[in-house]
Amino acid sequence: MNSGMGVRPVPRRTEVGSGGRRTGRLRVAPTRRLVLARSGAAVRRACDGWRRAGDPIAFVPTMGAIHEGHQELMRRARSSAGRLVVSVFVNPLQFGPNEDFRRYPRPRARDRRLIAAAGADLLWEPRVTDVYPAGDSTRVRVAGLDEVLEGASRPGHFAGVTTVVLKLLNVVQPDVLWLGQKDAQQARLIEQMVEDLFLPVRVRRGPTVREPDGLARSSRNAYLDTEARRQAVALSLGLSEARRALERGERSAAALRRIVRNVWKRYPRVREDYVAVVDASSLQPVSSVRRRVLVAVAARVGPARLIDNFEWGAR
């Protein structure tokens, strides 16, 4: 599909009857008439038309490799607005030099089918040169929030995230932007960017979607072999133990970190990157849980680097 084609509809395909069904771990439902767009100009034309018609627009940016977590986020977005736009763009700017940009999964046909099944109206699939044309030199940073947790482990990562999200928002101009809680730090940075730059969009978070054994659904779970997959559940098990300790009244951040690490000792293939208890707004470490906190973990399990978290306390 070349840029001259603008937008085109994906032929309607009814996957199942009106009730929908599950295929493996993914919910498949009757598809909508999904329009594919490559150029930003085509996306703007479509969105401008919906706005003129009075249809609010929800937007879900993704890097593809769609799983049930993405689909649940899209369903929530679908129910929040008259129209749903989804983007699939594997953003090179947020990958470090030794990270997995080239091998990141890109199952395009499957992604299109699952995005249509989740109720999207328009799927934007820009090329790298569409997002970063020759001469592109502007980068967006949310200072402070981008230097801790994932930012400390992956220098420059969040400048890539905030830059691309701002570019996508400027094209779609949605009424509501939906992000996943699994990437809690990313969501927090984007919330701050939206506030600081007076962007006219409401940011909402969808809860982390998990496998039956608790593992957070992630595109990078595909990297796990059988044994690594068995070990990866340690992340959610450690967090569950920390949550139970909070429910029992534990308030020491050091004790909570120790609880997570004690669980991980039973899983020798889990290599810690960080276990952190931080203020949910500033993302700065706390010594004691006195307000809303984010308990966040990152670890390497086999070839995959996985993250997980939960928030605790009143907003």
- The tokens describing 216, both together, are 């957070």
Which residue in the list 70, 76, 83, 205 is annotated as catalytic? 70
Residues contacting 269, CB < 8 A, separation 6+: 227, 228, 231, 301, 302
pLDDT, tens digit, 9 for 90 and up, residues 196-231: 999 999 999 999 999 999 999 999 999 999 999 999
Percent of the chain with pLDDT over 70: 90
Question: What pLDDT score was predicted for residue 32?
Answer: 62
Residues contacting 107, CB < 8 A, separation 6+: 64, 65, 66
| Catalytic residue flag (residue 67) | no
As a whole number of angstroms, the distance between CA 64 and CA 222 comes to: 13
- Closest by alpha carbon to 209, among 307, 79, 71, 86? 71
As a whole number of angstroms, the distance between CA 315 and CA 311 comes to: 10
Residue 94's CB is within 10 A of a number of other CB atoms, namely 21
Query: Please, are residues 298 and 273 in contact by the beta-carbon 8 Å criterion?
Result: yes
Domains of the chain, start order: 3-206 (3.40.50.620), 219-312 (3.30.1300.10)
Residues contacting 308, CB < 8 A, separation 6+: 182, 208, 216, 235, 236, 239, 296, 297
pLDDT, tens digit, 9 for 90 and up, residues 104-144: 999 999 999 999 999 999 999 999 999 999 999 999 999 99
pLDDT, tens digit, 9 for 90 and up, residues 225-274: 999 999 999 999 999 999 999 999 999 999 999 999 999 999 999 999 99
pLDDT, tens digit, 9 for 90 and up, residues 29-87: 444 689 999 999 999 999 999 999 999 999 999 999 999 999 999 999 999 999 999 99
pLDDT, tens digit, 9 for 90 and up, residues 17-36: 223 333 344 444 444 689 99
| DSSP state string for 38-104 | -SHHHHHHHHHHHHHTT--EEEEEE-S---HHHHHHHHHHHHHSSEEEEEE---GGGS-TTSSTTTS
